[in-house]
Amino acid sequence: MNREQVKERLTKVFRDVFDDDEIVLTDKTTANDIEDWDSLEHINLIGATEKEFKMRFSVREVSGMKNVGEMIDIICQRAGK
């Protein structure tokens, strides 16, 4: 699974969670770019991402993630193992 494929699946997750089909993700996307992305939706987003990719983030990973790019990095790392 390459970064583009991950981004594509992640986009679908974001669109579901925010109920907005116009969301387009880049590596630089952060919570500031999506209106409804607050700390509460963040919980939901992490949960939905874990479900989509059948993996779990650790406490450290969730706390440290800064943007969508880093999220994709972690997902790719896990898939690579």
Partner 1 sequence: MLQELCYPFDGGEILQKRKKLLRQLKAQEDNGISLRIAVLGGSTTNDIISMLELFLRNRGIVPKFWQSEYAQYWQDAMFENASLKEFSPELIFIHTSSRNIQHFPSVQDTPETCRQKLEEVYSHFSQMWERLTENYGCPIIQNNFEFPLTRLLGNREAGCPQGKIDFINRLNCKFSDYASTHQNFYLHDINYLSSCYGLEKWLEPIYWHLYKYALAVPAIPDFSYNLSNIICSLMGKNKKAFALDLDNTLWGGVIGDDGQAGIEIGQETAVGQAYAELQGYLKSYQDLGVLLTVCSKNDYENAISGLEHPDGILKPDDFTLIKANWNPKSENLLDTAQELNLLPESFVFVDDNPAERAIIQAQLPDTPVIAFQSVEDCMIAIDRSGYFEVTNLSGDDVKRSQMYKANAQRQSASQQFANYTDFLKSLDMKAEIRNFDEVHIPRITQLTNKSNQFNLTTKRYTQAEIEQVASNPAYLCLYGRLTDKFGDNGIVSVVIGKKQGQTLHMELWLMSCRVLKRDMELAMLDELVSTAKQNQISEIFGYYYPTKKNAMVKELYQTFGFSLVSEDEAGNTVWKLDVSGYVPQNHVIAVIPETR
Q: What angle do CA 38, 44, 49 make, to 5 degrees?
A: 120
CA–CA distance, 8 with 74 (Å, rounded to integer):
15
Nearer to partner 1 (CB atom), residue 18 or residue 31: 18
Q: Does 16 bind partner 1 (CB under 8 A)?
A: yes
Write out the binding residues for partner 1, residues 42-81 only, by CB under 8 A: 43-44, 47-48, 51, 56, 58-59, 62-63
Nearer to partner 1 (CB atom), residue 57 or residue 68: 57
Shortest Å, Cβ 57 to partner 1: 8
Residues that bind partner 1 (CB under 8 A): 13, 16-19, 40, 43-44, 47-48, 51, 56, 58-59, 62-63
